[in-house]
Amino acid sequence: MDRQSFTDLIQAKFKMVRIEAGYTQDTMAQTIGLSKKTLVQIEKERVLPNWTTCVSICALFRDSEVLNSTFGCDPLEIVQTISRNQAAYPKYSTVSDIYWETLSSKGGYILQANKVSELYRVLDADKQPLYGTAKQREAETYFQRHAKDDLIRA
């Protein structure tokens, strides 16, 4: 796949991604940094999104079923491969652990706070990120709900 065919696919799925996310045109335009007029033109397939807009869509909506089924994988993997002619698959190491403070752990889940960015995340038993937010309360709620559900099933 090259940039042109990738951009064509993103354009064709743009509106579906927005609807799947439950965003209005105004919210979507603001989220990805476009004017509403440009967003409407892209959705009507009158204007092709530029590369940066396509990358933004893939990064911000990488969990989209529409994008994942369109590409058959994480859309950022496609972006990286097209951009660099290869994809790197880093194994998350403990080096990043110096930036994350564990606040709580229960039922195989870990709640962490980033010491630099003041973001919060929840990891699964394999230490893979499941959820991230800038709001501590939201992270705690997600953590408690999933850890509790996991304990009930056990």
Query: What integer pLDDT is reported at residue 55 of this predicted model?
Result: 95
- Residue 85 belongs to a domain: no
Name the band, by pLDDT with cuts 50, 70 and 90, for residue 128.
confident
Name the band, by pLDDT with cuts 50, 70 and 90, for residue 42.
very high
Neighbour tally for 115: CB within 10 Å: 11
pTM: 0.65
| CATH number of domain containing 30 | 1.10.260
Nearest to 121 by CA among 147, 108, 102: 102
Residue pair 55/3 in contact by the 8 Å Cβ criterion = no
Helix (H) or strand (E) holding 111: strand 109-114
| Domain co-membership, 13 together with 63 | yes
The rounded mean pLDDT for the chain is 87
Query: What integer pLDDT is reported at residue 153 of this predicted model?
Result: 47
Based on the structure, what is the number of domains in the chain? Answer: 2
Dist. CA 32–CA 69, nearest whole Å: 21
| Domain co-membership, 60 together with 14 | yes
Residues spanned by the domain of 43: 3-71
The answer on pLDDT for 89 being more than 80 is no
- Long-range pairs for 143-147 at CB < 8 Å and ≥24 separation? 143/104, 143/106, 143/109, 143/111, 146/107, 146/109, 146/122, 147/106, 147/107, 147/108, 147/109
Choose between 85 and 121: higher pLDDT: 121
| Domain co-membership, 108 together with 65 | no
- Residue 117 belongs to a domain: yes
Bridge partner residues of 104 (DSSP): 111
